[in-house]
Structure 1
C-alpha cells in the first residue's frame, strides 16, 4: 500500500523555511525574556528539523576544511550519514564501524570535541595563512567559506544517535536492532569552536599563530625519513626536573634555546662527553619543557644530512622554532657525510633558517676518529689535514661538556633520584649498592644511577631484599 503523502513531503522547502523561521522566533523570544541557552541547544532545535541526508550534504560541502573528511572518525561518520537510505545491514555496519573508531579515540562521550579537534589540526589555506600571521590578508570569499565550515562542524557535532535513527528511511526494517545500537553523546566542542562563527574564526587564527597548523600543531617531535618529515606519535616524555646533576651545563643549553624562542641570536650546539651522562636526555627534556612556547624538534639521521636543504624548505616559512637534532654524531676520515655537515653548519648555499638550530650529541669532542697513524706518511701539508679533521666541531658556536661524575656527584644523583621516587632506604645502604652497581657496569654515570634506582624501587615493591 502506497504511503500517503503529507504537505511536508510535497512542499519540503516551504516547510523548512517556516521551521527555521520558527527557530529564529524562539531565539528572539529568548532574548526578550532574558533567557539564555547554549549554542548546542539551538543546534538541537534546528537539527530536529533536518534530515540525515541534509547532514550528509552539509559534510560533503566542506570547502576550506575539506581535509577533515580524510580523517578516520569524521570519514566514518560521513559514511554513516550517507547510509540514510542504505539496506539495514549496511547501515548497521556503518554504525558499528563509526562507534568502534570513536571509542578507539576515546571520544564516545563527546563527538563534538572529536570533530572540532580534527578541524583544529587541519592544514588548509586558512590555517597556513593564520600560522604565518596573514589571516587578515585572505580574500573575503575565503573568510566566508571558513565561517560556513565552522558552522557546519558545530552543527554536525551536535547530532545524536536519535537524530540519525529518526533520519534513517528504513528504520522499520531494523526492527529491535535499532534499540540495541551503541549510543554516543554529542558533548561540547573545544573552546576555539565554541560561540558564533566570527568569534571562532578569530580564536582559531590565534591558535594557529601560537601553535602552527597541521601536524606541527598536533605533534612536537618529528623525524626525517625517506625524504619527508614524519611525526613521532609517542616521544620520550622525560622532563628537566627528572634530570639530576649537570645543572650548569644544562642551563647553558637552556639559555641558548630560550634565545632561539625569543627571536634572539643563538648558536648551534654540540653536547659532547662520556656515555650515559644525559646529553640526549637534555635535548629531549628541553623539547618537552618548551613545546607549549612553539618549540619543535626534527631528528635527522647522520646518513641523511645531504637532505638538509630539503628539510630547510619544509620548515623555513613556519612560525615555530625548530631544533634539528643529530644524535650520537661521529665520523671516520672517509665518511662522506662529514663534508655535508660542514656545509650545513657554514658555507653551503642552503642557508640555515633563522627559526632553527642544530643540536648534536657525541661522545667525541672533535667528532672525527683520529689515529696516530693519521699523523704519519709523506703528505707535505700534514698540518692542514689535521686541522681539517678538527675544524668541524669548531663550527658549532656552543660546545657543552658532559663528563663522568666523580664519586660524590654520582652519589648525589643517586640520592636525588631516590628522594624523587619516595624510596625509604638508608643512605649508607644506597651508597654501597650504588657503588657496587657502577663497578659491575664499568663506571659511574647518571644513566647508571637511574638504572640502579629503578632496580631498588622494583625490589622494594616486591618485598625483596636489596
Structure 2
C-alpha cells in the first residue's frame, strides 16, 4: 500500500463531525473498507491467503456499490467524461449527513453566526474528506496489483453524475454544490455554500427526501414515492383547490389549518395529499407518512420536527377509530386541547371514509348518557380547521376522468364528431366506445370512482399494447 493511500486513510480517521459519511451504507463505506483491508494486510503475505481474500472481497463490494449507484443515478453512458464515481458519492454523503454542524447551520441565518470552533472543525473535516474524494482509481488498482490481485483497468472510472431517479428537493442547489466541490482546490472553500444549502433544504433525510416515513421512533426517507402530480389528477378540482390553497398559505408562513379529507373510497383524497410533495418540495414542504397504528408516537414526531425550518404535512391515511382506541384521544389532544402546542411548522392532513372518523359501532346506544358519547366521538373531526368533502362520483364525472386519464396514458381519443380513422391498435378510439367500455368495467369492478377510472385505463392501455409510462 503506497504512502499516499496511507495518508488518505489516516485523514478520514481524523474526522470530527462528518464521520457518519464513512458509514453511508454505500460507495464511501465500501471504499474505506477496501482501504482498511489493504492497510491491515500490509504486514501480511504478498498475495493469497486470508488477507488477499478479504481485499478481493472488499474490491468486489466496492465495484457492486459503484455499479448500483450508476443504475440508481441514471448514468448516461460511456461517452460522458470519466471520473471516479466515489468523488460525487462522497459529496452526496456530505450534503445529506446529519451532524452537529449541519444541524446548527440549518438553524442559523448565516455561517458567521456559528461558533468559530464549529466552523473550523467543519472546514477541517471537509479537507480530510477531500483527500478521499480525489483518490485516483489508478492508485487503488496499483495497490491491488502489487499484491498479485489484478483488477480490470478503468472499472472505477464512470460517467459523470446525473441524479434523476428520485423526487429530490431543490435539485438545482444539489447540482450547484456538486459542481462547486468538483471545481474546488480546497473543499473548505465550499463551507459557506454548504451552510446555505443546509438552511434551504435541511440536514439529513429532511434534505434528501421530499417524502418521509415515521415508524414510531425515527424518520426515514422514501426514495421512490408515488409519482402522482396535481396536474395528473382529473376531476374534483374544487375540492382539490381547497387543499392546495391551504397548503400554499402554510408554506408561505401564513395561518393554515389542519385538514380532514373525507368521502367515499377511491375519490382521490390520498392522491391529492401525496401530490402536494412534488408541488411544494422546492418551497420547503415535506410530507411525512404516519400510519394510524403509530399515532401514539405523534407527540414524539412533533418534537422531532419542531427544530426544522422546513414545513411538514403529517399525512394520516384512512383514519377511523373505535371507542376504545387510545390514539383517538392522542390525535384529538394534538390538534387542539393539549397543553403542548402543535409546532407552527407542522400541519396534520388526514383522510377518512367517515365524516366523523369513528366507526358506527362506537356510536351505538348503550351508554348511560348516549348523547355525551356521540359528542365525544364527533369532537375529533371538529378539531380539524377545514373539512373537505369528496362526494360520490356520478357518471358524467366518471367518464370525464376516464377521458382525461386515457389521454395522459397515450390512448388516442377521437374528437366526438370525428369519423373512425386508422387501423390497428393505435387508431383513435371513439368516445362512445370508450364510455361504453368504461361503464362496463365500473359495473364489474369497484363502481364509479377516479380509482376505478385509472384501473380501467391501465387495462385498456395494456390491451392496446401501449408502453408503460415512466414513474
1:18 aligns with none
Per-residue deviation, residues 425-453 of structure 1 (Å, max 9, x unmatched): 11111010011111122521001111111
- TM-score, with length taken from structure 1: 0.81
Kindly indicate whether the alpha-carbon contact (under 8 Å) linking 2:105 and 2:114 is maintained by their aligned counterparts in 1: no
- Give 1:359-370 correspondences, 5 Å limit: 359-370=349-360
- SS of residue in 2 equivalent to 1:180: coil
How many residue pairs get matched?
409
- SS of residue in 2 equivalent to 1:178: coil
- In structure 2, how many angstroms separate the alpha carbons of the residues matched to 1:230 and 1:216? 9
- Give 1:452-463 correspondences, 5 Å limit: 452-461=456-465
- Give 1:174-185 correspondences, 5 Å limit: 174=148, 177-178=149-150, 180=152, 183-185=155-157
Kindly indicate whether the alpha-carbon contact (under 8 Å) linking 1:160 and 1:184 is maintained by their aligned counterparts in 2: no
Is 1:405 aligned to 2:358, yes or no?
Answer: no
Is 1:127 aligned to 2:102, yes or no?
Answer: yes
Deviation, 1:364, is: 0.7
- In structure 1, how many angstroms separate the alpha carbons of the residues matched to 2:90 and 2:436? 56
Deviation, 1:63, is: 1.7
- Give 1:20-99 correspondences, 5 Å limit: 51-72=4-25, 73-82=27-36, 83-84=38-39, 85=42, 87-88=46-47, 89=52, 90-99=54-63
Q: Taking structure 1 as reference, are residues 141 and 440 closer, same or farther at Cα in structure 2, changes over 3 Å only?
A: same
Is 1:214 aligned to 2:204, yes or no?
Answer: yes
Per-residue deviation, residues 348-396 of structure 1 (Å, max 9, x unmatched): 1232111000000001111123369835x583x5433322222221110
Q: Taking structure 1 as reference, are residues 287 and 335 closer, same or farther at Cα in structure 2, changes over 3 Å only?
A: same
Deviation, 1:173, is: 4.2
Kindly indicate whether the alpha-carbon contact (under 8 Å) linking 1:115 and 1:157 is maintained by their aligned counterparts in 2: yes
Deviation, 1:171, is: 4.5
2:66 aligns with 102
1:160 aligns with 136
Kindly indicate whether the alpha-carbon contact (under 8 Å) linking 1:212 and 1:319 is maintained by their aligned counterparts in 2: yes
2:117 aligns with 141
- In structure 2, how many angstroms separate the alpha carbons of the residues matched to 1:94 and 1:378? 67
2:258 aligns with 268
- In structure 1, how many angstroms separate the alpha carbons of the residues matched to 2:102 and 2:446? 53
- In structure 2, how many angstroms separate the alpha carbons of the residues matched to 1:307 and 1:295? 21
Q: Taking structure 1 as reference, are residues 205 and 338 closer, same or farther at Cα in structure 2, changes over 3 Å only?
A: same
- In structure 2, how many angstroms separate the alpha carbons of the residues matched to 1:373 and 1:199? 64
- SS of residue in 1 equivalent to 2:288: strand
- TM-score, with length taken from structure 2: 0.81
2:441 to 437, 448, 461: 437
- In structure 2, how many angstroms separate the alpha carbons of the residues matched to 1:355 and 1:59? 37
- In structure 1, how many angstroms separate the alpha carbons of the residues matched to 2:345 and 2:130? 35
List structure 1 segments (4+ residues) > 6 angstroms apart after TM superposition: none
1:351 aligns with 341
Per-residue deviation, residues 235-256 of structure 1 (Å, max 9, x unmatched): 2121111111111111110111
1:339 to 329, 351, 372: 329
Structure 1, unpaired ranges of 5+: 1-48
Cα RMSD of the aligned pairs, angstroms, is: 2.5
1:28 aligns with none
Q: Taking structure 1 as reference, are residues 217 and 442 closer, same or farther at Cα in structure 2, changes over 3 Å only?
A: closer
2:302 aligns with 312
- In structure 2, how many angstroms separate the alpha carbons of the residues matched to 1:418 and 1:247? 18
Kindly indicate whether the alpha-carbon contact (under 8 Å) linking 1:64 and 1:142 is maintained by their aligned counterparts in 2: no
Per-residue deviation, residues 38-68 of structure 1 (Å, max 9, x unmatched): xxxxxxxxxxx96111111112122221111
Is 1:238 aligned to 2:228, yes or no?
Answer: yes
Deviation, 1:71, is: 1.6
